[in-house]
Structure 1
Amino acid sequence: MRLEPLAGDDPRDVLRALRAALGAGPAVALGAEGRLQPGEVRPGTAVVVTTSGSSGVPKSVQLSRAALTSSALATAARIGAGQWLLALPAAYVAGVQVLVRSLVQGTEPAILSGRFSAAAFAHVVSGMHSSRGGERVPIYTSLVPAQLQTLVDAADEDAGVRRALASFEAVLVGGQALPVALRERAAAHGARIVRTYGSSETAGGCVYDGVPLDGTRVADTGGELRIAGPTLADGYLDDPELTDRVFVRDAEGTRWYRTGDAGTVEDGVVRVTGRVDNVIVSGGVNVSLDRVERVVRDVPGLSGAVVVAAPDERWGEVPVVVAARADVSDPDGALVAARASAAGAIGAPARPARILLLDEVPRLSSGKPDRVALKRLVAER
């Protein structure tokens, strides 16, 4: 199977390449930024998605036609089929899946090009309404929390954005934890939000509102979540050692993906509590920064905050809250509230030491916070 890197990430170019890759055409490499050259990959490969994730270390994930189409079909079985709006980068796995779902369902995706804004979103949505056999075709989209925050903030004042949000049969939101307050605000505007959990290694979201898609299995193994099923990637391109470490087989021969996420599975419901490795030792006590972040995001003005570690002479490491300056009108009050909330929910060692306000929180191309850059900024300041 021939692999052809795609120059650029124009959504229409990605759509054409995916249409060929899901047929008899060559596999397409996305997000490689010149790191991958044309070459051969294992038969059945459709896409190689190169992503740095939150670690900053590039990984090229090999996804087969079978994995991508299995994910698209399982999504349709769970939430229904219709027309999709692409509002995410097309080279990001969630964007790829929006296009794959469209191709599998035989529909033309709507595409929001350029910089994301509430006005542009509402404009594109206004042209999506169509019918088939006299019945309205349901519409769907996929967003990250930062985009949903932009839309909800605008919807408070703009009826057009409210109508756009409420018009979707489902709005998938993934990529990072979704604050409860943000989901409630979106629901108040009529948005039907579906929280998704997954990664490039699972061909995108494979758990919807805590329940695995049909065919997907999730297990809690020693506190780490593992995933099995037809949507798993074949592994990492040219990295057999990492592939063998991340994709493992149990005694029955079932292949599992080690997510690196901490969590539980109770009565079939998956609950993610954070990254296994996103834990600091503060004053001799283990503190999950993911737990601190979830608590902090319930504080007014900090719904989009990110919590990272900073070195501390006395405690070793401490949590630090990073937020956009425009969101926080009273930094001192927000810090007091964040410290009180963290202490009450987790314990005194979880209290953030300070708040760092930035004009703009740096993000990866996927929309996730760039935690590597944030940790560096916090250490420098």
Structure 2
Amino acid sequence: MIEQGVKGRGGLQPLAVPTGVPALALLPLLEQSLRGDRPVMPHAASGPVPPVPVHDPASLPDALAVVVGTSGSTGTPKRAMLTAPALRASARATHDTLGGPGQWLLAIPAHHIAGLQVLLRSLDAGTSPLAMDLTDGFRPQSFVTAAEGFTPGARRYTSLVPTQVVRLLDHPGGADALRTFDAVLVGGAAMPPRLRARAERARVHLVATYGMSETAGGCVYDGVALPRTEVELDEEGRILLGGPTIAHGYLGLPDLTRATFGTDEDGIRWFRTDDVGHVDDRGRLHVDGRLDDLINTGGLKVAPRLVEEAILEHVPGIRDVVVVGAPDREWGEAVCALFVLEPGALHDVTADDLRAYLRDLVPDHALPRRARRVTDLPTRGPGKPDRRAVAALFTMG
């Protein structure tokens, strides 16, 4: 395993990260970063080189390894500063939770934290990662082919977004390939209960992850915090995350860093997320959505994710859905549902249909007032729904 080397101060360089197999060529450079020797700022090789935010080099944390962009939908673009110890702590907590170090298959962009962690966990564990061909985007058959290349006897892991899991389960041989994995981490967007149930019937081991760039990726698995990770809720239900995987702030944004990150009297670093959630009677965390995604309709708050889960579980024919608020003269905001039908669905679904199916399952004020069908949902980042784009569809009519 790679251990901490010298302190990383200054010399931060943008790192162009290609997709798919070519990303594996970056492993020697990332190995230096994971030692704290060479801090890098990953970005998509297909896009322009981003400028390094203006910052005081003396403010960089010791052993800085990577400065990774967040995929938040609002506000100023931010880049979280992650140290080598934070990344190693995340990698080891993940392997301890999943049953031990193993070999990973890269199937998502490696400039985002989830894909980057596939490579960094491999480096920390001393294993050789695989990568699927993403030349033409995510093709299930390419995933199936890549999954045949694992070292015999190695534990097998990968990270996917929900839409990739759906496409694999729809593909001949996809479920067989997924069954060969000891764990399939699923993040980037909420995992619909229907998808988990379908995977369980196919005997595929999915693990729903919750985390972000600021926490070195997933730090809560299936509602349970990873070892040494702390989870708290404040008085409004905002999720607070603490532990050794927390970033040391945002590069070049000292005021926002002070407002968002902190260290308690025990020396534990904390991150104040923009998410709200609740803990069930089993002690498992449920993320209800982002604070700025909450819909205020008639003076009452609606968490979109709860409505989305109810639709996917109880409304037949709907494959995927995003619920947002759109301006409404009477209610302030109206609950709106943009959805994709299952292949071969015989009938469209109206707002009245949604209300009929969901009545008594969600509060009356959470029942959708508008609905619209599309062939694909707008997305951003690693498979996350683009709620701004969805809201714009309803705002424009």
The question of a shared fold, defined as TM-score above 0.5 by the shorter chain, is answered with yes
Which residue, out of 232, 235, 241, partners 1:219?
232
Which residue of the partner structure matches residue 123 of structure 1?
A: 145
Give the stretch that moved more between structures: 13-22 or 56-65: 13-22
User: Relative to structure 1, is the Cα distance of residues 15 and 328 closer, same or farther in structure 2, using a 3 angstrom cutoff?
Assistant: farther
Contact 1:228 1:255 in 2 (8 A): yes
Contact 1:143 1:173 in 2 (8 A): yes
Which residue of the partner structure matches residue 149 of structure 1?
A: 166
Shift of 1:217: 0.8
- Give secondary structure in 2 for the equivalent of 1:317: strand
Aligned residue identity for 2:276: A
User: Relative to structure 1, is the Cα distance of residues 331 and 93 closer, same or farther in structure 2, using a 3 angstrom cutoff?
Assistant: farther
Which residue of the partner structure matches residue 26 of structure 1?
A: 38
Which residue, out of 232, 235, 248, partners 2:262?
248
- Give secondary structure in 1 for the equivalent of 2:80: strand
Which residue of the partner structure matches residue 63 of structure 1?
A: 82
Shift of 1:327: 4.8
Which residue of the partner structure matches residue 357 of structure 1?
A: 373
Which residue of the partner structure matches residue 9 of structure 1?
A: 18
Shift of 1:277: 2.6
Give the stretch that moved more between structures: 274-283 or 250-259: 250-259
User: Relative to structure 1, is the Cα distance of residues 199 and 345 closer, same or farther in structure 2, using a 3 angstrom cutoff?
Assistant: same
2:138 is the alignment partner of 1:138:
no
Shift of 1:124: 0.7
Give the stretch that moved more between structures: 116-125 or 4-13: 4-13
2:305 is the alignment partner of 1:290:
yes
Aligned residue identity for 1:85: L
- Give secondary structure in 1 for the equivalent of 2:359: helix
Which residue, out of 296, 300, 320, partners 1:281?
296
Distance of 1:84 and 1:42 partners within structure 2 = 29
Contact 1:312 1:318 in 2 (8 A): yes
2:182 is the alignment partner of 1:169:
yes
User: Relative to structure 1, is the Cα distance of residues 73 and 25 closer, same or farther in structure 2, using a 3 angstrom cutoff?
Assistant: same
Shift of 1:194: 1.1
User: Relative to structure 1, is the Cα distance of residues 60 and 24 closer, same or farther in structure 2, using a 3 angstrom cutoff?
Assistant: closer
Give the stretch that moved more between structures: 369-378 or 94-103: 369-378
2:316 is the alignment partner of 1:300:
yes
Distance of 2:161 and 2:177 partners within structure 1 = 16
2:87 is the alignment partner of 1:47:
no
Shift of 1:37: 3.1
Which residue of the partner structure matches residue 246 of structure 2?
A: 232
User: Relative to structure 1, is the Cα distance of residues 13 and 378 closer, same or farther in structure 2, using a 3 angstrom cutoff?
Assistant: farther
Distance of 2:317 and 2:75 partners within structure 1 = 28
Which residue of the partner structure matches residue 5 of structure 2?
A: none
Q: Deviations over 1:67-100 (max 9, x none)?
A: 1010000111111221101111101111111111
Contact 1:61 1:233 in 2 (8 A): yes
Aligned residue identity for 1:107: T
Instruction: Provide TM-score, normalisation by structure 1.
Output: 0.91
- Give secondary structure in 1 for the equivalent of 2:69: strand
Give the stretch that moved more between structures: 343-352 or 25-34: 25-34
Shift of 1:140: 0.6
2:223 is the alignment partner of 1:210:
yes
Distance of 1:255 and 1:332 partners within structure 2 = 49
Distance of 1:42 and 1:328 partners within structure 2 = 54
Q: Give the % identical residues.
A: 41
Which residue of the partner structure matches residue 345 of structure 2?
A: 329
How many pairs are equivalent?
Answer: 372
Distance of 1:14 and 1:324 partners within structure 2 = 37
Contact 2:335 2:367 in 1 (8 A): yes
Distance of 1:171 and 1:311 partners within structure 2 = 39
Aligned residue identity for 1:233: A
User: Relative to structure 1, is the Cα distance of residues 316 and 111 closer, same or farther in structure 2, using a 3 angstrom cutoff?
Assistant: same
Contact 2:117 2:217 in 1 (8 A): yes
Distance of 1:82 and 1:187 partners within structure 2 = 22
User: Relative to structure 1, is the Cα distance of residues 371 and 137 closer, same or farther in structure 2, using a 3 angstrom cutoff?
Assistant: same
- Give secondary structure in 2 for the equivalent of 1:94: helix
User: Relative to structure 1, is the Cα distance of residues 98 and 161 closer, same or farther in structure 2, using a 3 angstrom cutoff?
Assistant: same
User: Relative to structure 1, is the Cα distance of residues 351 and 24 closer, same or farther in structure 2, using a 3 angstrom cutoff?
Assistant: closer
Contact 2:319 2:342 in 1 (8 A): no
Q: Deviations over 1:14-34 (max 9, x none)?
A: 434312211354211023753
Q: Deviations over 1:304-359 (max 9, x none)?
A: 21111111222221121112366583564464442234432222221112222223
- Give secondary structure in 1 for the equivalent of 2:274: strand
Which residue of the partner structure matches residue 319 of structure 1?
A: 335
The 5-angstrom pairing of residues 77-92 of structure 1 reads 77-79=96-98, 80-92=100-112
User: Relative to structure 1, is the Cα distance of residues 258 and 341 closer, same or farther in structure 2, using a 3 angstrom cutoff?
Assistant: farther
Give the stretch that moved more between structures: 313-322 or 28-37: 28-37
Shift of 1:361: 1.7
Aligned residue identity for 2:331: W
Shift of 1:54: 2.8
Which residue of the partner structure matches residue 112 of structure 1?
A: 132
User: Relative to structure 1, is the Cα distance of residues 143 and 181 closer, same or farther in structure 2, using a 3 angstrom cutoff?
Assistant: same
Which residue, out of 256, 259, 266, partners 2:273?
259
Unaligned runs of 5+ in 1: none
Which residue of the partner structure matches residue 200 of structure 1?
A: 213
Q: Deviations over 1:183-238 (max 9, x none)?
A: 11111112111111111111011111111111111112211111111000011000
Aligned residue identity for 1:7: A
